[in-house]
Homo-oligomer: A and B are copies of this chain.
């Protein structure tokens, strides 16, 4: 087996481990009304690439954490991600019909169930972090606080509000970048830095992980915008073409300019890791994801 195949196998083993742990951490049937539990499991356990947990696990590994030490944190961040998708897709928000190749939760169940499942998953992330017996309690408090910052009024929630209410301001490139960071970057930053923190990485490494993740988040958002502008829903596994009327990096810079901006963010992400001489696994994982998906974008 060559080196690249071995790396892919390692990533796949991490992904499978995340899936197993998510199934354990999700509420079991009987713990709450069945309809709610089924909706939570439908959403959380749908096949996904588990990008955020894998970033957490790789960042932790880069800095020598014990195997599995960051697993529950990674799963908690995946719960937050799943919650944000459920809530963003709601009829009063993006009114999306398809997500991860399946009907969105408010279509498969109903709107009230979707809201409770989304809120429940967000909340459950904090329960998981607070109960993580593999980590010292002060670390759990710090990680919960960082997650809450990523979600809150300067993170995912602010981003969704900006996306809904301040669309006329998005022609300003700095506002657009802020939006893209809030909607995607903040949680990837929490994932990368969280892994480093679990491993006891030094402050400058946490800083570098943050810069890496910020640029990766912006690159991802541009890639998503490129997919949205061009792909079919079948290929994307979610609704596409919904952003036609709103400013994006693609509509502002054109596809070629957007692709260049994406490459620049990827380069800056690499630079951030190079500056501390660490992060080979992370750089490779992310580089690989982008390389494999360039065709789609």
Contacts and interface: CB of A to CB of B under 8 A. Distances in A.
A37 B154 CA distance: 11
B36 A165 contact: yes
A158 B36 contact: yes
> Could you say how many copies of this chain the assembly holds?
2
A126 interface: yes
Interface residues of A, number: 51
* Most interface-central of A113, A126, A162, A164 (chain B CB within 10 A): A126
Interface string A130-148: 1100000110111011011
Contacts of A144: 126, 129-130, 140-141, 144
Most buried by B among A31, A90, A112, A151: A112
Nearest to A132: B141
Interface in A154-171: 154, 157-158, 160-162, 164-166
A192 interface: no
A181 B153 CA distance: 31
Contacts of A151: 123
Contact of A93 (B112, B141, B164): B112
Contact of A142 (B31, B93, B137, B147): B137
A245 interface: no
A110 interface: yes
Given A31-B154, A137-B142, A161-B36, A110 B123 contact: no
Interface string A108-119: 001111011011
A148 to B, nearest CB: 4
Given A120-B152, A120-B157, A127 B115 contact: no
B119 A92 contact: no
Contacts of A119: 87, 118-119, 122, 157
A149 interface: yes
A110 B87 contact: no
Given A92-B110, A119-B119, A131-B145, 13 more contacts: A32-B161, A33-B165, A36-B158, A36-B165, A90-B112, A112-B164, A119-B122, A123-B157, A130-B141, A130-B144, A138-B138, A141-B141, A141-B144
Interface of A: 27, 31-33, 35-37, 40, 87, 90, 92-93, 110-113, 115-116, 118-120, 122-124, 126-127, 129-131, 137-138, 140-142, 144-145, 147-149, 151-154, 157-158, 160-162, 164-166
